[in-house]
Each structure stands twice: as C-alpha cells, then as structure tokens.
Amino acid sequence: MRLHVEGLTYSYGEKDAVDQVSLQVERGEFVGLIGPNGSGKSTVLKNIYRGLTPDRGSIKLDGENLLTMPYKKSALKMAVVGQENEVPFDFLVEEIVAMGRSPHKKLFDIDNVHDKEIVHHALEHMGMAHMAKRSYLNLSGGEKQRVLIARAIAQESDFLILDEPTNHLDISYQMQIFDFIKRLNVTVLSAIHDLNLAALYCDRLYVLKNGKIVLQGTPEEVLTAEHIYEVYGVKSSVSIHPVTGKLAITYLPEALQNIA
C-alpha cells in the first residue's frame, strides 16, 4: 500500500487548518506525523481517512484517487483508529470489534466462525478478550482505545491510520501497541505526540506547524535539539540511547537550560 498526498488544503472556516501538505508513505513504512497542539495533524489524517473532504489537493492509494473510491473499497484498504472514541449507542466490546469485519461482508451476511476467530484474536492481542461481553460505554479511556485498535486489527487491511493511538494508555500498553503494530508489518501513518516513541518506532517523520509541513526526514534528521526548540519552543538534550541505539530526548526544565 502506497499513499501519496499532494497539495492537501483544508479549512474549517476562513483560515487554512492544513495548507498545501504533501506527504508520501511507502509500502511497509511506519511514518509519524508530529507537531504542536493545533498544528493540523488530525485534520490531515481526517482528510486521508475521508472524515473530511479536502478543499484542494489529491490523495492517492496505490495510484488510485481515494476521493472517488467507493467507501467499501477504501475501508478494505485502510483501517483507522481516530481520536474520538465515543460511539453513539451502547455496544458490547466484541460487537465493536466485529464492526471491523463489515467491509469484508455483503449487506445481510452474518459473522461466521472465521470472523469470530479474528475478533477473538484481535481482542486477545489487546489484552481485552476477558472483557468481550462488557459494555463498551463503561470502559476506561485506555480500555476503549484498546478495543478500537482491536477493531482496526480485525479489519485486516494493510494500511493503518492512527491518530495518537496511545494517548489514553499507560506506558506498558503504549509500548505493547506500538510493538504489536510494528510486528504486523503493515504500512502505518500515525500522529504521535511523544517524540521518544516517534524516535523509537518511526522510519520517517513529518513535522507540522501552523498547518504546514516544516520538516521531514528520519528521526535522526528531524529530532535535533535545534528543531525541537524551533517547533515546540522547548530546550532539550538529544542523544543516542546506549541500549536502543535510537534517539533519546530529555526535556530540560528552565533551571537546567544554561548547561545544555
């Protein structure tokens, strides 16, 4: 699965929330979208997963225009874990995950044994199998997030779009989910706030600021102390971690900034 976005522009009102954004995700890549609050990450992702329609620009999946693709076909190609995790009605956890199977089915098809196995395994992977019969609305934020990730896994598409997938999760599930997604060997585009997680898991990064891509490259190219200060206004110390071999970013409180 290859994604090509060219000149994507979108405004909610007068000001462009996303301005001429171009990005590519090649097959098998794990690409991160980072940037400060309000920089446009979710808006870019929503335009890609068809929650919003671009004002201008083109979005292609494997060379095919996504904006005119039948919805069912695009749902077979990409699965989404969005930021808002509320559902309008009360469903059981297993029913929410089973919704991931719907692009694979015809209108009146019911779930077969194969679907049920996929749903069960997806829940198991997220450590939620024991909650399959629980009501979704009564779960904690982190548990809801794990159910929605299980739903995306059950969809079995080879392109995942994630909007801050771990923002409700404690550190063990944050690591577990990124490790798991990495093992799936699918193509991933994910908004990520935590720069250390972005450095650990992403092959390439795009940095958004005020709706524009201001930097792109490998984590090593993008996540320098200078760039972090330019984009976030925060002083940091960036080194290569001796165990992971990846970048490790330490943010410096005011009292320590003069020694960095």
Ligand X SMILES: Nc1ncnc2c1ncn2[C@@H]1O[C@H](COP(=O)(O)OP(=O)(O)OP(=O)(O)O)[C@@H](O)[C@H]1O
Using CB under 6 A as the criterion, which residues of the chain lie in contact with ligand X when the complex forms? 12, 17, 35, 37-43
* 238 in Cβ contact with 248 (< 8 Å): yes
**95 Cα distance to chain centroid:** 22
Which residue, 33 or 123, has its beta carbon nearer to ligand X? 33
Closest to ligand X by CB, 47 or 155: 47
Nearest distance, CB of residue 18 and ligand X, angstroms: 7
Q: Smallest gap, in angstroms, from Cβ of residue 211 to ligand X?
A: 7
Give the ranges where 49-184 is alpha helix by DSSP (H): 71-77, 93-98, 113-125, 141-154, 171-184
Q: Which is nearer to ligand X, 19 or 143 (CB)?
A: 19
* Distance of closest approach, residue 8 Cβ to ligand X, in angstroms: 12
Those residues whose C-beta lies under 8 Å from the C-beta of residue 17, and which sit 6 or more positions away, are 10, 11, 40, 43, 211
Report, in Å, the least distance between residue 36 CB and ligand X: 7
Do the beta carbons of residue 115 and residue 62 sit within 8 Å?
no
For residues 43 and 236, which CB has a smaller minimum distance to ligand X in the complex? 43
C-alpha torsion angle, residues 99, 2, 71, 160 (rounded to 10)? 20
